[in-house]
Amino acid sequence: MLRHIIHRQKIILNLSNREYAGALQASVSNLMQHDLKVGIDAVFNNAFPEDKIIRIDKLQLNLGTINQQNFENEFKAQLLSELAKGLSEQKDNLSYADSAEELSKEQSLINALIYFLEKGYLPWYQAATTTMDDWETEILNNFTAREYQQFFDRILLKHHANEAIMQRLILQFSDKFLGALLSGAMPEFGVSWELIYNDLALIVHSFSRQTTTVVRHKIWQYILQALPDKKGNELSYYILEQSAVYFGINSTVISNKKQDEILEGLKTDIIYADFKKLIVCLKQEIKKDRGEKNGKPGKNTKAFSEEQGITDEDKIAADGNIALVDEDIALGNDGTIPDNETAAINDPGIENEEQASAKKEKPKTTKRKRDAQVIAGDVIFVNSSGIVILHPFLKPYFEGLELFAEKKFVSDEARQRAVLLLHYLATGETKVAEFNLTLQKVMCGYPLDDTLPDELLLTEKEITESDNLLSAVTNYWVPLNNTSIQGLRNSFLQREGKLELRENGWLLTIEQKTLDILLGKLPWGISTIRLPWMEQLLNVDWY
């Protein structure tokens, strides 16, 4: 596997005769994309150790004079020889050179993580082919106390009020990863944050009919908000208290039987003590004011809510979502939370009672003014670059799915869904890391630094219409008439590419393969794309 990345390469040929310029240009392009890849990788491997990340700002090589009659062989030999010499010089002068930087693997990973959280896509030096599961594992296997502290300082302290960053953390990363990250950043707390989250979720699910996704999002939100300011027991109790108010948990819905079931299922001493403390506080409140019927907050509960900074708008999820005393929810034998439905944001089909309620309070993705964070000339490595082939079919496709009408997407959620559907068209997969959706965002006019859900729950109609679209492509494209949908995906849609912002719009450069000769038979053009909802032109360099 190639593990080195060249951000940009520029080759200048000085020729005595223009007659052969085109042929030599094609030859060099083919050599750099195919024949020389393994050789260049081997030179890099020999130059630097695996446990270090070396970034060289610029490396200029002079290959001298090359015999045109033996051009390819001499070009390859000279390039590899000069590259080895150039890297050796960089290595010898690494401590003094301004053009080179040496980083440990763990430092490179923390930089990439923070970069992704701030921008929504990966830096050029982090391979875009990484799955989120693999990336989480790599981070946790390499982080030391220093990187965890940097995460705490550079994200939790500096950006804890940044809605987009906090939402990206919650939406994109697993509970296991978030728990490990926070435990590493706050070792003095002494308790696994994954276990704390599980205990908090168990308590909330015992009373709330909200979806698993809504409960998960809100609890992690309270955790991340509280970390910079609260300490020790005060921190965990604050999070439980906030959750109780938000989800409408009060003493009228806590029977002795339910209380015992919950306490038995809790895995951490700290939440065990906090829950008992909460029950005492709630019962003291109810003695002062019995409140309204059916467990709705009374005057004192309202005062308690205001004291904790919970607004009426925040409490909207409490109405109609409280399990009454005689409707005890059975916990599993191991105290785990029963599986609920996934987020309503991903299910446009028929709503059940919980989804209708959750619509009021589903995890939102941030919609803000564009920050123009992408600098012209920056390169973003992308997957599934071949989706540009589908561009003539996308407008009727989105219209048929009722996502696009009257020259615009019908809602922000519809545009998000369109982004995820483009990934499904290219891969057949419904779960995806946000950093693999950069091109899809561009093609749907979605801001790169706005976050997204990491999974799409498809409707039957979306599955059918997606298959119809891909079949239409193979039907119109004569050389692919006998190609399956998966064959189209594997051969053309799932291509690696480089995306960069230029003065006249985006430029997408796509990995070339032998099969690309068939692009000459494609009945429509792909060199320039501007869909009705796109704010910038997309120029494509492929074949």
pLDDT of residue 472: 98
| Confidence check: pLDDT of 350 > 60 | no
| Confidence check: pLDDT of 164 > 70 | yes
Confidence of residue 5 (pLDDT cuts 50, 70, 90): confident
Residue % of the chain over a pLDDT of 70 = 78
Rounded average pLDDT over 413-440: 97
pLDDT of residue 322: 32
For 541, the 3-state DSSP assignment is strand
Closest CA to 329 of 199, 200, 249, 209: 209
pLDDT of residue 49: 67
CA distance 53 to 125: 10
Contact 179, 200 (CB under 8 A): no
Q: Dihedral angle at the C-alpha atoms of 219, 221, 223, 227, nearest 10 degrees?
A: -170
- Higher-scoring residue by pLDDT: 5, 481: 481
| Confidence check: pLDDT of 311 > 50 | no
Confidence of residue 384 (pLDDT cuts 50, 70, 90): very high
Contact 408, 533 (CB under 8 A): yes
Query: What is the chain's mean pLDDT, rounded?
Result: 81
**Tokens encoding 485:** 């949908």
| Confidence check: pLDDT of 330 > 50 | no
pLDDT of residue 286: 63
pLDDT of residue 308: 47
- Higher-scoring residue by pLDDT: 24, 231: 24
Confidence of residue 288 (pLDDT cuts 50, 70, 90): low
Q: Where are the domains of the chain?
A: 18-98, 193-361, 379-541
pLDDT of residue 3: 63
| Confidence check: pLDDT of 86 > 60 | yes
Least confident residue range of 42-46, 363-367, 466-470, 512-516: 363-367
pLDDT of residue 256: 86
Question: 462-516: per-residue pLDDT in tens?
Answer: 999 999 999 999 999 999 999 999 999 999 999 999 999 998 899 999 988 889 9
Alpha helix (H) residue ranges in 57-144: 71-92, 105-119, 132-142
Q: Dihedral angle at the C-alpha atoms of 43, 44, 45, 46, nearest 10 degrees?
A: 50
pLDDT of residue 71: 87
pLDDT of residue 376: 64
pLDDT of residue 365: 55
Confidence of residue 51 (pLDDT cuts 50, 70, 90): low
Contact 298, 289 (CB under 8 A): yes
Tokens 């593990």 appear where? 3
pLDDT of residue 466: 98
Q: At 283, phi and psi to the nearest 5?
A: -70, -35
Rounded average pLDDT over 25-49: 80
pLDDT of residue 24: 82
pLDDT of residue 368: 44
- Higher-scoring residue by pLDDT: 116, 233: 116
**b vs e for 28-39, b when ≥16 Cβ sit within 10 Å of the residue's Cβ?**
beebbeeebeee
Rounded average pLDDT over 354-372: 46
Least confident residue range of 116-130, 217-231, 250-264, 300-314: 300-314
Q: Dihedral angle at the C-alpha atoms of 415, 418, 420, 422, nearest 10 degrees?
A: -140
Rounded average pLDDT over 162-191: 93
Residue by residue, what is the 3-state secondary structure of 403-416? CEECCEECCHHHHH
- Higher-scoring residue by pLDDT: 29, 388: 388
| Confidence check: pLDDT of 357 > 50 | no
Least confident residue range of 200-204, 350-354, 377-381, 399-403: 350-354
Instruction: Output the DSSP codes for 443-502.
Output: HTT--TTS---SB----HHHHHHHHHHHHHHHHHSGGGTT--HHHHIIIIIS--EEEEEE
Least confident residue range of 21-30, 139-148, 444-453, 498-507: 21-30
Residues 6+ positions from 126 with CB-CB distance below 8 Å: 108, 112, 115, 116
Least confident residue range of 101-105, 258-262, 315-319, 523-527: 315-319
Residues 6+ positions from 386 with CB-CB distance below 8 Å: 426, 492, 493, 494, 495, 510
Residue % of the chain over a pLDDT of 90 = 51
pLDDT of residue 52: 66
pLDDT of residue 429: 96
pLDDT of residue 47: 79
| Confidence check: pLDDT of 141 > 90 | yes
| Confidence check: pLDDT of 32 > 50 | yes
Tokens 């009408």 appear where? 405
Rounded average pLDDT over 42-65: 78
| Confidence check: pLDDT of 57 > 90 | no
Confidence of residue 299 (pLDDT cuts 50, 70, 90): very low
